[in-house]
A and B are shown apart, each in its own frame.
Chain A
Amino acid sequence: MFSYKLLFFLPLISTIFTYPFGVLLGDKTAQYFSSTLISIAAILSWFLFISFSMSPSPEIIIPVLEWFLVSGQFFNWGISVNSLTLLMLTLVLTVSALVHIYSIEYMAHDNSKVRFMTYLSLFTFCMVALVVSDNLIQLFFGWEGVGLASYLLIGFWHHKKSANLAAMKAFLVNRVADFGFLIGIATLYIFLDTLSINEIIEGKEELLNYDINFLGFNINALVFSCFFLFIGAMGKSAQFGFHTWLPDAMEGPTPVSALIHAATMVTAGVFLTVRFSELMVMSDFIMTFVLIIGLLTAFFAASVGFFQKDIKKVIAYSTCSQLGFMFVACGLGAFNIAIFHLITHGYFKALLFLSSGSVIHGVHDEQDMDKMGNLFPKMKITAVMMWIGTLAIIGFPYSSGYFSKDLILSSSFNLNSFGPLVYLILAIVSAMTAFYSFRLIFKVFHGKYNGSYDYEKIHESGPFMLAPLLLLSIGAIFAGYFLNDLLAGYNSKNFWNGMIFLYQDKNYYSSFFPILSKSLVATGVAFAVYYYGFNLNKLADLKKRFYSIYNFILNKWYFDELYNKIFVLPLYNLGKFLWTRIDQGIIDKYLPNGSASIVSTISKAFKRIQTGYIFDYTFIIISGFTLFISIIFYISVT
């Protein structure tokens, strides 16, 4: 019990005390202090996870503090211990600990590094609170809390205008999605009269009995609530339509991108969907919707990733695309595989981001890939790490991506009729992923150096940054191999222990499909090598020939422009209209100012009564008094 509470409280202690320590004992102490606390929590989480997976037990809920009173029932701050939460905790705490350590060196030249560590710890605490919650209120707390940490960290360099705007955008887009989430919570609450996640899942049958009339449609309560919960998940996980904030979020320091915008926070949406998997599978509509959104996102983000110039944005779009893969797995009913991919992706994507951070650090804060090239001789370890991460993401055999991604592809045959189609789309997206991942490798590490920064001064990063990379690379290589059996193998039923929905029968399909997908991926790699490794000039011709498509992709399908036109500008103009026309034009004109003019007319009339003669005044006083007395009599008589 105590050790579980420790997992919850260590990040909190780090959040609260890092800043005072920094002020009192100096920056270095504070950095070591928070890194140590989170590392202890990370190691502890592995012990707890391993001992749990040896002998899975039913869910335990450890209350911490009474919190919320809803319909006469208090909901707690609490820790729910089960297979899903422990698995997530290992990922969250491990990546967080490594990012803490990495930041000691990465932020060494920054003036406010203690503030940075505090935010990182705050994020870790909120993420832990989100993962371990047993009720929707705490879940929402963590949900908004990680959003806050993300807002603070994206806008960390607050003198940069773009960073501030990106931070606001992230918070507001997430708010729009949270609006959906809140409605989902409210619907569940009104029909089931509870906010405890377990009780909601137990009451799922009951939900089917109710309908909600919305805009003239009778929608089943289950579908309605799941739909809006999923809207929340879409926002946090940057799915199609809500994705616009994620690439902009790359304005934050790179360790942040690794921790928040790759490994942990953005996967919260997948986590939520899986946590409510028992509810989601009950509606075909929801499952199809999740599947389609996942497919769309995977394809869209991969296409935009093609021609991005910023090294971090390429990885950001690939994150977006991989999140799409996870939702595809959810939509196919393979929730355990979604979580599996979530975990492996967490490791290799954090590796990719931190490696790119190492590159950016080495070339003196340059992020444009056009100004890089041939960095391999200068930073060999980083380059090898980047290669490992890239091989993992394209699913090179026996790397971690190979296991989880292939399982997603093969589970498309859970669908009877459209299975092959889904498989084909996923295979194409995988090939696209391979293309832009290798494009990145070749543009950055090989070829010719094009930058303006002095090539001789480019340097490899120090031990604090390389050690986390090495540890993550272990995860990127082996996580798939070790977790495969536990999460997706024959014994997985024991491990999950009823926590999530598990698909029962396995469909078999011809061996033609794996060969197809593998060869597509190989083609993608080959194209990247051909164009970016050897024939850059041919590429320019291609770009000219397909200029309109190229432009469309380069401008991210014009989503930002569209949103500005249909949401932001009209709202802004409406504000002006309501303020000047309605508030000042109508209400003020008729209510107070109008009545004021009446008053002044009356007072002019009264001026005439003020004659200055005692007689007139006495008359008015007496008549007024008579009136008053008669009113009192009237009232007391009736």
Chain B
Amino acid sequence: MSFPILSLLILTPIIGALTLSLSSSSQLKNKTIFLSGLWITTGEFLLSLLLPIFYDKTKNGYQFTEYHTWFDKFDINYYVGVDGVSIPLILLTTFLVPICLLCSLNSIQNRAKEFVTYFLLLESFIIGVFVSIDLVIFYVFFEAVLIPMFLIIGIWGGENRLYATFKFFLYTLAGSVLMLLAIIYIISKVKSGNIELISDFTFDQQIELILFLCFFASFAVKVPMFPFHTWLPDAHVQAPTSGSVILAGVLLKLGAYGFIRLSLPFFEYASIYFQPMIFALSCVAIVYTSIVALRQLDMKKMIAYSSVAHMGFVTIGIFTLTQDGINGAYFQMISHGIVSAALFLIVGVVYERHHTRMISDYSGVTNVMPKYSFFFMIFMLSSVGLPGTSGFVGEFLVIMSTISVSVYLTFFTAIGVILGASYMLLLYKNVNFGDLKTDIKQLADLTNIEIFYFSCLAFLTMLLGVYPKLLFEMINKSISMSIL
């Protein structure tokens, strides 16, 4: 296809961001800014819908590719394309960004222009990560994503935002430096940045182990895997709702995407070699963070810890190195992207009205906000992994695939299912049921805008739960290519 759809996807938000930031801010009202941001991101979403429509599921390899030479000497080029693994994540991104803007309509009052600009930039960088087939381009986008994210947390965050941003920065920096070193080495060895060419290259085994660890450092922080997870609860608690949504919804997926897209095809030997380590870390992540989540007093922290546990399923699934495992892990990524984003929005709704995130400050909310409790219920159940919701499909496949590795692994993974139900039900019960507290009697139920985006998210979770074939068809072939 000659139509440069991928470049257009990357460029549209950037152009939008530039126009916005160049216009003089004094003349624009907040509402106009948000509306223009919404128009751009909705257009972007519609544009990205062309990808699954025109994508040929029967073919192997990348499609919609574009190639422009950049550094001839090292064969580093602007080379982009998509396959079944990247399309759903692109859609997830373009779907969540308008929702992020929608939910900030009232909560973000100061510096609205910068806020929308950063979100547009963020969107474009994330899409850049998912479409690049060149290692250097990938790295540039991968790191660039962090800049708007820092700013969003750092400017519009809570009281303790500086500590959170700083922690976030330190963790990711350490990972990126190592990955950069590894990338420099790889390019000097292979003499090309093309991901497909690098996949065919066989490294010396000892070196491969080191390279794997360098990549691992960067991705594990992003996922996040135990013990690199402690930045996540802080970042979430301090971030504004929209920041948490995009962080949990898409940014955490960058690490897992990196594992599937780069680590597995590049380092086949090392992926098998480090299997036990990753399983151990993931099992600890699942059991440990679930138990920690049980004791959280802050709603956002609890959901943040649950994210770590859910992403533990993803890393286990990926490193079973089986088709079912990676399918399941991928499904879990998409599902977690929708569900955790929705849960952070759910917290955002009551935070905006009552200005507290402490669980103990709420009780009997269902009496005044029945619609809210209804949506909360759907997302809670999906997070618990109830069959019929998207959360189940991924968890189930991952558990099925673990038994080919070891029964013990299955045990630990499945324990996560019990613990996950415990803390989510506890959260739901404490917030929604019981006696109505007097100071929350005046809380208003969901507005039409909120109902709109919650319905979209709820519809997606149910659709993927009842008819997961939609996603399976898209990813199955591409994933079978990425495993050995």
Min CB gap B186→A, angstroms: 11
A529 contacts chain B at the CB level, 8 A cutoff: no
Asked if B154 lies at the interface with its beta carbon under 8 angstroms from chain A, I say no
Chain B residues within 8 Å of A542, by CB:
none
Within 8 A of B (CB), among A172-194: 172, 175-176, 178-179, 182-183, 185-187, 189-190
B323 and A638 contact, CB distance less than 8 A:
no
Q: In the complex, which residues 548-576 of chain A have their Cβ closer than 8 Å to any Cβ of chain B? A: 571-572, 574-576
Residue of B nearest to A631 (CB): B184
Provide the residues of chain B in CB contact with A638, threshold 8 Å. Answer: 188
Residue in B closest to A179 when the chains form the complex, CB atoms: B414
Select the stretch in B224-232, B242-250, B348-356 that faces chain A. Answer: B224-232
Complex CA gap A167/B432 in Å reads 14
Partner-binding segment picked from B38-46, B337-345, B422-430:
B422-430
Asked whether any CB of chain B lies closer than 8 Å to the CB of A69, the reply is: yes
Verify A67–B467 contact, CB threshold 8 A.
yes
Give the interface size bracket for A toward B.
35 or more
The reply to whether B170 and A179 form a contact with Cβ atoms under 8 Å apart is no
CB within 8 Å for A171 and B421 given contacts A158-B433, A164-B429, A186-B403 = yes
Q: B435 contacts the other chain (Cβ, under 8 Å)?
A: yes
Does residue B192 face the partner (Cβ distance < 8 Å to A)? no
B411 touches A183 (CB 8 A): yes
Complex Cα gap A578–B284 (Å):
11
Contact call A182/B414, Cβ cutoff below 8 A: yes
Given contacts A70-B397, A172-B421, contact A148 B381 (CB under 8 A): yes
Q: Given A70-B400, A140-B387, A164 and B323 touching (CB < 8 A)?
A: no
Give the residues in chain A near B171, CB-CB below 8 Å: 591-592
CA of A81 to CA of B335, assembled, Å? 33
CB pair B388 A145 closer than 8 Å: yes
Q: Is the CB of B387 within 8 A of A158?
A: no
| Chain B residue nearest in CB terms to A191 | B403
Are the C-beta atoms of B387 and A145 separated by less than 8 Å?
A: yes
List chain B residues, Cβ under 8 A from A489. none
Q: Which of A74-122 contact B (CB under 8 A)?
A: 74, 77
Residue B174 interfacial (CB < 8 Å) = yes
Q: How large, as a class, is the contact surface on chain B?
A: 35 or more
Known: A572-B295, A592-B230. A189 touches B386 (CB 8 A): no
Check B263 for interface membership: any CB of A closer than 8 A: no
Q: B449 contacts the other chain (Cβ, under 8 Å)?
A: no
Counting CB contacts under 8 A, is B274 at the interface? no
CA distance A65 to B296 in the complex (A): 41
Is there contact, CB below 8 Å, between B364 and A578? no
A574 to B294, CA, bound (A): 10
Contacts A148-B381, A186-B400 hold; do A69 and B230 have CB atoms under 8 A apart?
A: no
Give A183 to B403 CA distance when docked, in angstroms: 8
Q: A172-B425, A592-B230 are in contact. Are A159 and B399 (CB under 8 A)?
A: no
- Contact assessment for A71 and B399 in the assembled complex, using a CB-CB cutoff below 8 Å: no
Cα distance A469–B213 in the bound complex, in angstroms: 69
Residues of A within 8 A of B (CB): 65-72, 74, 77, 137, 140-141, 143-145, 148, 151, 155, 158-159, 161, 164, 167-168, 171-172, 175-176, 178-179, 182-183, 185-187, 189-190, 212-214, 571-572, 574-576, 578-579, 582-584, 587-588, 591-592, 595-596, 599, 635-636, 638
Given contacts A164-B434, A584-B230, 12 further A-B contacts (CB under 8 A): A65-B466, A144-B388, A151-B425, A171-B425, A186-B403, A190-B400, A575-B294, A578-B291, A579-B292, A591-B230, A596-B166, A599-B170
20 pairs, CB–CB < 8 Å, chain A vs chain B = A65-B467, A67-B466, A68-B468, A70-B324, A141-B387, A144-B387, A144-B392, A148-B381, A148-B386, A168-B425, A168-B429, A172-B425, A179-B414, A182-B414, A183-B407, A575-B292, A576-B295, A579-B295, A635-B188, A638-B188
